[in-house]
Structure 1
Amino acid sequence: MKVTVAPTDGWLEDSIHKPLELLKNTINGKDDQKSFYQYLMRHGMYKSSHHAEDIFEKMKEHNIWERFSLYEKKYKRKWKGPNVPIYLFPVQEKRGMFQSSMKKSGVCFKDEIFFFITEQDDTKEYEALFVHEYHHCVRMKLLNKEDKQYTLLDSIIFEGLAEHAVKEYCGEKYTASWTKAYEEKEMSRYYEKWVQPNLDVTRSSPLHDHLLLGKKSYPNMLGYAAGYYLVENHLKKKHASTIALIGKASSTFLP
């Protein structure tokens, strides 16, 4: 069987100070490591190799590579998911008096997944992170769309469904804070005012990320929270499991 969790422990052992070298071993990083590294840093990949060394030691102590291999086997079987390379790297810990520390992050492409992590007091947090990102990967395969075809509606449903999967498989305790950020009435108002009129906006438009992440003057994590809200309302009506919905068209979830 193809090994999908890449041996980044060995890569880090040899080249933790040369992240661009590490990215030559990946699919999306093999041609232009510099710009790809910039992109991954925005999603949580380590910057400082000094801090990364400390995290790397903890990752080895906690058998992170073995742990993620078990998650991959478990959810690939449950969800009939694809074989994609999985890369584990230290997270970029934000330092400073007014910065909260980042504990875990991830970014998913249709052909590979990156996880950025550090030590967790509760190891279930690792599984919650895996569930969220691998869910994206499975859904991407089932939707089978080109990146340029994805709209804001697609993006918010990706996030809403993935976090409902976290709730279902790991427990509500492990869902992201943005799932509880807004009261239902408030979210309904925000959705109608800002999200609904822009559901067809594609990823290439700056407005897509402004709405998805709640940048500029929009409420924080607006699109993520709106996606969770739409999926939650759909689940209340249909009483379906997230696995039954994983390949459904995004329009299925519209009220």
Structure 2
Amino acid sequence: MGIINTNDWLKENFYDPLKVCTKLKPLFPELNEKEIYTYMKKFHMYTPSRNTKTIYQQLKASKVWETVETLYIKYKKIWNGPDVPVYIFPLDGGNRLFVRNSQNKCGVSFQDKMFLFLGDIKDEKEIEAVFVHEYHHVCRLNELNKNLTEYSLLDSIVMEGLAEKAVEHHCGKVYLADWCRKYSHTDIEKWWGQYMIPNLCRKKNERIHDHILYGVGRYPSMLGYSIGYHIVEEFYDKKNFSAKASFSISPEELLKEIKFQ
């Protein structure tokens, strides 16, 4: 499958994203195009405007579809990864809660598909970083092969931490997301006991799962992501592992090695 030519979709219907999302209906048979667009906007799919049209034009000028295809071929080979469709759309410039960092990139992945939402990125390594993070999710989801509703908060924070460790390995520390360095180890230890331990078994379909994972309301911003990276970092210091091996490491195995529980 590889990179889907969403460039052509955007050429025809940039100002009508519902028409664009109609093409995604086979991927989400239980949703209509409006529901698909609402869902994608949670991860910063563009809203039509002069600003996002400029972003789209910049993506075309920088040949981002070709860049991502090169990355897809590279990592599919290195990781012996699954063959999934990858969809690229301009990033919305509004609410930045789920954006990886100030480098204008975001994504969402499933076992059988992957979406990237990109802004005007000057450094191609930033594109590689978000690609590695999201494609790592695809590989791990396929390795674990569970229904999404079965994933717990513990599964999710470890998933995010392992994906970002892969970014560090393949792209370097400088390309880590901001949330990796957002909080001190002291804060992480405190919040682990205060927020995480009582809720580690909460399932993905429970509201509190996402509230803690993303840091909504009273929870610190990107809390679950940050703690996930700290857990993986501590485990890696003791049990050095490859990115490929990380597709199958169990969360329980990581918890045995961390100090602050």
The TM-score, its normalising length taken from structure 1, stands at 0.93
What's the counterpart of residue 45 of structure 2? 45
Q: Which residue of 1 aligns with 2:176?
A: 175
Moved over 3 A (4+): 27-31
Give distance in 1, aligned partners of 2:69 and 2:103.
Answer: 23
Q: How does 1:84-123 map to 2 (within 5 A)?
A: 84-94=84-94, 103-123=104-124
Question: What's the offset of the Cα at 1:229?
Answer: 0.9
- 1:22 pairs with 2:20: yes
1:110-153 deviations in whole A, cap 9, x for unaligned? 21111111211212100001001111000000000001100000
1:143 and 1:249 in contact (8 A); partners too: no
Letter of the aligned partner of 2:108 in structure 1?
A: V
Deviation track 1:9-47 (CA, whole Å, cap 9, x = no partner) reads: 111111111211112222434541111101111111001
Q: Which letter does structure 2 place at the counterpart of 1:62?
A: S
Equivalent position SS for 1:135: helix
Instruction: Tell me the CA shift for residue 4 of structure 1.
Output: 1.4
What is the TM-score normalised by the length of structure 2? 0.91
In the alignment, residue 46 of structure 2 is paired with which amino acid? Y
Counterpart in the other structure of 1:4: 2
| Equivalent residues of 2:17, 2:48 under 8 A apart | no
Q: Deviation of residue 212 (structure 1)?
A: 0.5
Q: Is the 8 A contact 1:43 1:105 kept in 2?
A: yes
- Which runs of no fewer than 5 residues in structure 2 stay unpaired? 96-100
What is residue 98 of structure 2 aligned with on the other side? none
- Matched residue of 1:55: which SS? helix
> Deviation digits for residues 193-216 of structure 1, max 9, x if unmatched?
211221100011111011111112
Cα distance in 2, alignment partners of residues 203 and 240 from structure 1: 27
Counterpart code for 2:109: C
Q: Distance in 2 between matches of 1:142 and 1:101?
A: 31
Q: Distance in 2 between matches of 1:101 and 1:70?
A: 24
Unaligned runs of at least 5 residues, structure 1: none
Sequence identity, in percent? Answer: 37
Partner of 1:36: 36
CA-CA distance at 1:239 after TM superposition: 1.7
Distance between the aligned counterparts of 1:209 and 1:83, measured in 2? Answer: 28
- Provide the C-alpha distance between the structure 2 equivalents of 1:58 and 1:29, rounded to a whole number of angstroms: 29
Tell me the distance in 2 between the aligned counterparts of 1:39 and 1:117: 17
* 1:138 corresponds to 2:136: no
Q: Tell me, in whole angstroms, the C-alpha distance in 2 between the residues paired with 1:6 and 1:122.
A: 22
The 1:225–1:101 alpha-carbon spacing in structure 2 relative to 1, beyond 3 Å, is closer
Q: Given residue 213 of structure 2, which amino acid in structure 1 is its aligned partner?
A: L
3-state secondary structure, aligned to 1:88: strand
Q: Partner letter of residue 66 of structure 1?
A: E
8 Å contact 1:28–1:36 — kept in the other structure? no
Mapped contact 1:187–1:226 kept (Cα < 8 A) = yes
Change (3 A) 1:47 1:19: same
Query: Does the 8 A contact of 1:16 with 1:49 survive in 2?
Result: no
How far apart are the structure 2 equivalents of 1:21 and 1:153? 37
Aligned pair count reads 249
